[in-house]
């Protein structure tokens, strides 16, 4: 990971929500909908450090599930519509919210990973003659 200082610190939340480079805040973080670019086109930061894993999907599932289930329960208790109406209401809302939140959440998690210098965890193993 290249750690050259930038001229001004970039907020990881602002950069992530906009899908911009976590170091300079200018270059694009993504080359597709969720595919990350190989490097920043503005400052040259190599994006090989990126490892968002399943984190963005988990956050989005929890948030969207809370919203949709809460609204569906409210609508069911208040108006008791037929099941087909529930499907017409909640399936598109789930898709729109899920797909709409996935990219910004991934961008924020990547930017936080960069700003906190997060790396894969490693066990400290003793070295020397007493090492097992």
pTM, two decimals, is 0.84
pLDDT attached to residue 75: 98
Residue 4 has pLDDT above 70, yes or no: no
Place of tokens 């894969």: 120
Structure confidence at residue 19 as a pLDDT band (50, 70, 90) = very high
Residue 43 has pLDDT above 80, yes or no: yes
Structure confidence at residue 6 as a pLDDT band (50, 70, 90) = very low
Q: Which two tokens mark 2?
A: 């290249």
Query: Would you say the C-alpha torsion 18, 20, 25, 26 has a positive or negative sign?
Result: negative
The answer to which of 31-35, 112-116, 125-129 has the lowest mean pLDDT is 125-129
Between CA 11 and CA 4 the distance in angstroms is 16
């Amino acid at each position: 990971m290249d750690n050259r200082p930038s001229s001004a610190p970039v907020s990881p939340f602002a950069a992530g929500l906009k899908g911009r480079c976590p170091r300079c805040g200018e270059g694009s973080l993504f080359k597709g909908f969720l595919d990350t670019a190989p490097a920043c086109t503005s400052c040259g930061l190599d994006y090989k450090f990126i490892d968002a894993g399943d984190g963005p999907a988990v956050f989005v599932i929890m948030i969207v599930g809370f919203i949709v289930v809460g609204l569906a329960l409210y609508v069911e208790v208040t108006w008791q519509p037929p099941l087909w109406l529930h499907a017409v209401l909640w399936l598109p809302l789930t898709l729109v919210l899920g797909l709409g939140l996935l990219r910004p959440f991934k961008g924020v998690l990547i930017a936080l990973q960069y700003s906190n210098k997060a790396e894969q965890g490693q066990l400290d193993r003793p070295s020397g003659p007493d090492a097992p």
